[in-house]
Amino acid sequence: MCGICGFTGRIPNGEKVVRKMAEVITHRGPDSEGFYIDDHISMGFRRLSIIDLDGGTQPIYNKDKSMVLTFNGEIYNYKELREELISMGYEFYTQTDSETILHGYEAWGEKVLDRLRGMFGFAIYDSKDNSLFIARDFFGIKPIHYALVDGHLVYGSEIKSILEFPLYEKKFNTRTLDNYLSFQYALPPETFFEGIYCLLPGHFMRFKDGKITTNRYWEATFEPDDNLTEEEAVDKIEKIFEQSVNAHKISDVEVGCFLSSGVDSSYVSTYFADQKTFTVGFDFGEKYNEIDWARGLSEKIGVDHHFKIISSEEFWDNIRKVQYHMDQPLADPSCIALYFVSKLASEYVKVVLSGEGADELFGGYTIYNEINSLRGYQKLPLGFRKFLANVVRPMPKFKGRNFILRGALSVEERFIGNAFMFDKSEKMKILKDGSIAHEPQEYTKKFYDRTKDYDDITKMQYLDINTWMVGDILLKADRMSMANSLELRVPFLDKEVFKVARTIPYTLRVNKKNTKYAMRRAALRHMPEDWAKKKKLGFPVPTRVWLKDEKYYNIVKDKFNSDTAKKFFNSEELIKFLDDHFNGKEDNSRKVWTVYIFLVWYDIYFGSDTVTVPQ
């Protein structure tokens, strides 16, 4: 895995600037660096050596050196593409997958993207017409950020590279704060930095003659085959997933595997006999510690298991460092746990496989089952359900109240993704400027508009694939692994795996028996039943416990009373959320954590801590 950066045009001290842009992402590629600089463009590269260890230095050039490539990612079918391109007359001077992309672009132009199987973010400069072509992979596993600054296109694998460009004036994007408070992450393509965007998954862009054009080349659409039997579905999943794992294990260095107690990473790990697996947990009981489950499976499948218990002090001491590496605030506390398991793995291997994407593709989140639980109730007349909801809404919380409230809403009205923190009324109460607050459904509407013909479960999956997975799951996976110079690969998020997943009927994805039903049945062929059927935990972190501890309560309270907090929020309202949680009146841990993380991040990038790597 690597890091790329660059800018078009000439500026004073341009070589020094691009070198600094590359230097701040050294963690993405500590093995070597490379640059291409001419009168029209400056391109930087940091390398983590995985394939062709001796000959894979970038930039990569075509035969007459009219085209230049820098690339972050892995192409798993590069050997087949290489043979095809050689048969067409193209000459290769390396054994890398990188060179395959460049010659593929020469041969097929943008259509090369349709042929690639893998994860990628790359830039190709064509000196013949001074154009720059930048592309991001199908699901958004690898990041690309960009900004147009005084006619210069500035880009990078991480935002921190763009911040080193001297003509960019760093400004806070207030619009993103509104969305963050509802979703717990910055909604792409916007970022917390005014004028800096992320290239969306499945998109490419061209920059020529001072203009950006962006196109979508791939979309995760579903087309369930209702004639598919249960056994046929399970057979297809098992066959394609085995192919994907084997493809993702291709490397010139040792490959390990993350392992939790859940079925996703456990399924991946069954293909790792005699190799290494990695797990972390907290010393707060089984609810927050999956190590025993992971150790038990490791013994059964014959892998070398490594684990770490994260102490409370370690976790809190590394919050600033994690938020620095994230570039943008992410209120998912599991990103910090992911930092620690990545750090552990990096002591033994350079590459790991993980289970991200299985829930989105195969229907794994518990919330998806709400469709089934509400189905009977929603057969009652809508008017009656709305009347009942109006009756119970002002009442104190009681068992079944939430069921009645949500049962009066369509999936489009009640589901904005896996994280729903603050609604509009709550945002208006806590924000200094309540006018920026909007209903989160205003953002999700465009995704639901594209899925009008889908069943409700598939609608939820489509929304999560395009929002939650990009803004949370894959962002933290990339940043936390790369912060530790570790390449993370995700075999569920494979184009060929999705070709199967999109055809699975929703009844074989989510039903009364389980979520991810067909996928679990495929996994059951490779592991003991207890692991294949285990309820999803989702990397649990004991934030609700910590926020009832006086030590951590006071840390957060001080932050809520800070000048930064008072700049954006009504501090007394924040303190009320915190106190109600501390005193056991209501579990506000996720909302408290969301605001706290934003304040920590803001102080790093805009406040008194301004961008130095936290120790």
Catalytic residues, which ones? 2
Q: Which residue has the tokens 């930048």?
A: 134
Instruction: Name the token pair of 580.
Output: 């109600």
**Residue 353 backbone dihedrals phi, psi, to 5 degrees:** -105, 150
- Three-point CA angle 597, 601, 605, nearest 5°: 170
| Beta strands per DSSP E along 157-303 | 196-198, 203-208, 211-216, 255-258, 276-282
Instruction: Name the token pair of 346.
Output: 């990096």
Residue type, 273: A
Instruction: Name the token pair of 559.
Output: 């932050």
Report how far apart the first and last C-alpha atoms of the chain are (Å, whole number).
24
| C-alpha span between 301 and 69 (Å, rounded) | 41
Instruction: Name the token pair of 554.
Output: 């006071």
Q: List Cβ neighbours of 108 (8 Å cut-off, separation of 6 or more).
A: 115
| C-alpha span between 353 and 241 (Å, rounded) | 13
| C-alpha span between 186 and 168 (Å, rounded) | 20
| C-alpha span between 316 and 41 (Å, rounded) | 42
Alpha helical stretches, state H, 274-408: 291-301, 312-317, 319-326, 334-346, 358-362, 370-375, 382-392, 401-407
Alpha helical stretches, state H, 467-528: 468, 474-482, 495-501, 506-509, 517-524
Instruction: Name the token pair of 407.
Output: 């049962």
| C-alpha span between 464 and 418 (Å, rounded) | 7
| C-alpha span between 350 and 283 (Å, rounded) | 28
Query: In angstroms, what CA-CA distances link 414 with 99, 451, 463, 501, 507?
Result: 47, 16, 13, 25, 21
Instruction: Provide the 10 A C-beta neighbour count for residue 410.
Output: 12
Contact by Cβ (8 Å): 263, 516? yes
SS3 232: helix
Alpha helical stretches, state H, 249-287: 263-269
